[in-house]
Structure formats: C-alpha cells, structure tokens
Copies of this chain bind each other. A is one copy, B any other.
C-alpha cells in the first residue's frame, strides 16, 4: 500500500516534468460541492454564524475563527494552536482558505470531507472542549435566533450536529481566494508576475515541486472527495535537519490508521496564500518561507537549491496570495435573559 502510494507520486513526477506548461491551472471561482450538501445562501449564513460563535466552545472564548482567522490568512500563525484553558495542540493549524479544494482534511487526511472535519474541534478537549455535541445542540436550541437560522437552512426543528457541520462546510466552501497574480498570469496577463516570479515558477516546475504540489490549489491532483494525496515527509533522511526540526516525531497517517506502511505519510498541503501562513509544516517549526523551500528541496527531492533558485521560488510563492472576498460579520443570536452558562 505504501509502495503504491509512493509509486503514484513517482508517476506523477515523471508526467508533470514532461508537460509542464499545460498543467498550470488557475483556481476555479467556485469550490466543488458534495451532492448531499449543496451550498445555499441560508446554509452559508448559518455556517458563518456557527463558525464565528465562541459559544460553541466550553468556556465560550474560542470559535473556529480563533484558530482559523478569516480576517487574516485563515490560521493563527502559531506552531501549536491555543485551545480552551490555554492548552496547546501538537500540530499547527492549516488555513481554512481554500480548504474546500482539499480532497481530505487534516495533516494526516483523517477526515474525508469538510462536513466530517467540522464535528471534530468542538468536542476535542484541547480545542473547543465541549463535553458532547448534545451539549452544543442544547445551547443552540436555547437561542431562538438559531432555531430560525436552522429552519431557514434545513427546515423546522433541524438543529443537530450533522446540520451544523453541513452549514459550516457550506460557509467554508465560500472561503476561496481566486485571482492571485499567478492566476492572472495563467489566465494570460503576463505582467501579473514579476520577472523573478515567472523565473521562480519555472524553477518550481524544473526542480520537481510540481510532482507533489500540482493542480489548481498546489495540493496535488484533483481526486474525489475522501481520497487523499499523501506523501512521505521527510522522504529522505537528514540527521541535521531532523535534529533542528524534529519532523519525524509525528507519525502522520499511521497514528490514525495504525498501519506501519502509513508511517510519516502526510497530505500534500495547498501552497495558496502560503506567504501569510508562517510558521510552516505540520509542527510549525520552520519560521520563514525561504527555509521551508530549502527544506522541501532537500528532504523531498534531495536537492540543494542555489540562493537564487530558492529566492525565485519564494518570489513565485508570494504570487499565490489571492483575493479575499469581503465578508459581512454575522449577527449572532442573543443568549437571552441569562448569563452564558460556562462560568
């Protein structure tokens, strides 16, 4: 199984090196939607309320937005996120921007969809810390404003964990950032990238980054939802880098599947808006993009980039910062006539 996966990676590498020019893809203006959860305005509005509502956490301090700040790069610029009671998690929060273009969610791909993912953090004891979804549902039911918003999205008496997750996923599918300089360039506007950025784009292809970071979101080939594109990280042993950054401490997908063949497999992450989401890698141990690029070349491709090559690639990656849609703040329902219970 592990072999097959590595093989897929290798095949793609060969293919992409051959047909570079044809493969550059702009980000679609719309994210794919699953058949059983079509995006509607009412769902998006409800999802936005839930996503930004701190009352989905035990102490009422954290919302999804606390760790995935959509006013910014869609995460928290930390190596480990801060959950309820100041607890730290062991992995760095990935950006929620364009997560709709991931075919699986989490660094290890353990959630097959945004819907499946959205139920996790709320009851994770070191994230939002609710005892159960029943408790969340009870809180939501106590607010007439949520009754109304769920009714608009899903029909009467529809407050449930599943529908909350569907609504959050629908909101997330609106969180996409098209029209980066790269997208404009690919669309034909050759002035959208600087000379250095265009050179970096070619280097990104030539050295082999595209063998993994292909597709419109630079997270691999477009696969059906639930099918992950995983790669071993680090792919090559390097004692010095391991001593500095400890990448191998995390078993990656194996921790989930308990399958030794999955050791250190990680989902290939998107590189969109990567300039905004320092620090880098699953453990957030690398502070800046220059270092991240050099480390990738060394550990994944066994190459030492020249200073010019890595500077050019970094310039190119800066061209992947897209246009962020304007978002109106949701109006949150009143917790009427009593104090918030988590006191």
Q: CB of A338 within 8 A of chain B?
A: yes
Given contacts A59-B86, A340-B78, are A329 and B275 in contact (CB under 8 A)? no
Interchain CB contact under 8 A, A287 and B339? yes
Q: CB of A276 within 8 A of chain B?
A: yes
Tell me which of B326, B339, B340, B343 contacts A328 (CB under 8 A): B326
Q: CB of A296 within 8 A of chain B?
A: no
Q: CB of A61 within 8 A of chain B?
A: yes
Interchain CB contact under 8 A, A336 and B276? yes
Number of copies: 2
Q: CB of A203 within 8 A of chain B?
A: no
Q: CB of A303 within 8 A of chain B?
A: no
Mostly helix, strand, loop or mixed at chain A's interface? loop
Interchain CB contact under 8 A, A335 and B59? no
Q: What is the interface size of chain A, counting residues whose CB is below 8 A from a CB of the partner?
A: 44
Interface segment, A23-31, A68-76, A107-115? A68-76
Q: CB of A248 within 8 A of chain B?
A: no
Given contacts A86-B59, A334-B275, are A70 and B329 in contact (CB under 8 A)? yes
Q: CB of A198 within 8 A of chain B?
A: no
Chain B residue at minimum C-beta to C-beta distance from A290: B337
Chain B residue at minimum C-beta to C-beta distance from A53: B71
Interchain CB contact under 8 A, B61 and A339? no
User: Can you spell out 6 A-B residue pairs with CB atoms less than 8 angstroms apart?
Assistant: A52-B71, A72-B332, A76-B340, A276-B336, A279-B339, A326-B328
